[in-house]
Amino acid sequence: MSKSNPLRVFFLIPPEVQLLDFAGPAHLFYEAKEYGAEIEIHYISLNENSSQQSSARVAIGGLLPFTTFELNSNDLLFVPGLESKLFLSEQFIKQHQSFFEWLKKQGKAKARICSVCTGAYLTGIAGLLSNKECTTHWKYLDDFKQRFPDTQVLTDRLIVKDDNIYSSAGVSSGIDLSLFILEELFGAVFASKIAKEVVIYARRTSKDPQLSIYLRFRNHLENRIHKIQDILSQNLDKKLKIEELAEMVHMSRRNLTRLFKTATGITIGEYLEQLRVEHAKQLIENGSKVSAAALACGLKSSNQLRTLLKKHTITP
């Protein structure tokens, strides 16, 4: 982007906006600007108010009405999530009909519309998701499918891109979406510099599931199993025997294996295998050699890791 034609990035600030939905992406584009990218950042309201209050009760000011701008294919518009009592309200939709008409017009003009979390509801209401693929927060997937039956909702995806319409799963995934777009616009090296600047350990991609292995299989109330899961994830480079694990939580081997399967739905071995696959994938994507990744995952050789990755259809 040249100084005469900078990249314009717009952030919609609806009432009761989820702070991180827009603040995370906004900060990444701010950092990109600091690193030399020609970027203009604008914050807009979906009504005439120059300020809005977030869901966390923090006020955000200096907003311009959406009618101030007309977007084109060189522009980005981030649509963050907001409280469900609003986007599920017929009154809210009717009250802001002119905004939804404007949003549809910008999408039709090929502006890149990027929803974060439940922001997908706003793009859906505007009619921009008809015959498109998208995702949204996992809690709302079933409801979203019912409300927008002509949209293909991808249920276990972090980021979805369909032409000029982008969507991301949950609150923090807006950061991943921003890095995804920065890589598209400025290249992988530039995006990795921004990730490093804001201390993002592992960048996730459009093919990643919404919940990583570090979050999956944790929706149970068995504290002893949570402790075992923590120990396994923090000691992947070590060879821990089940007897040792059982002793750490004052259980027998047999009771531990039984309770782990009951709480998570998978065995300790299967869980450990998935931890190793995800950790190895992150290491390799960030430049580690397969041999180094194998050692970091507690495996004896590169071949052992390759076999494990092949089993999970990942090519190192």
Q: What is the pLDDT of residues 135-153, one digit of tens each?
A: 999 899 999 999 999 999 9
**What pLDDT sits at residue 36?**
94
Residue 260 to residue 277: CA distance in whole angstroms: 20
pLDDT above 70: percentage of residues in the chain: 92
In the numeric block, the tokens 């071995």 are attached to: 269
Segment among 44-48, 126-130, 209-213 with least mean pLDDT: 209-213
Please give the average per-residue pLDDT across 186-198, as a whole number. Answer: 82
Please give the average per-residue pLDDT across 211-228, as a whole number. Answer: 76
**What pLDDT sits at residue 195?**
83
**What pLDDT sits at residue 209?**
62
Please give the average per-residue pLDDT across 72-80, as a whole number. Answer: 97
Query: Which residues touch 290 (CB under 8 Å, ≥6 apart)?
Result: 284, 302, 305, 306, 316
Please give the average per-residue pLDDT across 261-268, as a whole number. Answer: 93
Give bridge partners of residue 8 from the DSSP assignment: 40, 75
Whole-Å CA distances, 221 to 77, 224, 228, 263, 273:
40, 9, 13, 8, 22
Residue 72 to residue 314: CA distance in whole angstroms: 38
Please give the average per-residue pLDDT across 199-206, as a whole number. Answer: 59
**What pLDDT sits at residue 282?**
81
C-beta pairs of 298-301 under 8 Å, 24+ apart in sequence: 298/236, 298/237, 298/238, 298/239
Residue 104 has pLDDT above 80, yes or no: yes
Q: Which CATH number is 7-197 given? A: 3.40.50.880
Whole-Å CA distances, 194 to 89, 149, 198:
38, 37, 6
Segment among 12-16, 131-135, 277-281 with least mean pLDDT: 277-281
CA R_g for the chain: 22
The vertex-61 CA angle with 59 and 140, nearest 5°, equals 55
Q: How confident is the model at residue 201 (pLDDT cuts 50, 70, 90)?
A: low
Backbone torsion region of residue 118, taken as left when φ is above 0, otherwise alpha when ψ lies between -120 and 50, otherwise beta: alpha
End-to-end CA distance of the chain, in Å? 34
pLDDT above 90: percentage of residues in the chain: 66
Q: How confident is the model at residue 205 (pLDDT cuts 50, 70, 90)?
A: low
Q: Spell out the domain ranges in the chain.
A: 7-197, 223-311
Q: What is the pLDDT of residues 50-60, one digit of tens each?
A: 999 999 999 99
Residue 209: how many other CB atoms lie within 10 Å: 16
| Superfamily holding 223-311 | Homeodomain-like (1.10.10.60)
Q: How confident is the model at residue 81 (pLDDT cuts 50, 70, 90)?
A: very high
Residue 74 to residue 38: CA distance in whole angstroms: 12
Question: Given this chain, do its domains 7-197 and 223-311 carry the same CATH topology?
Answer: no
**What pLDDT sits at residue 211?**
55
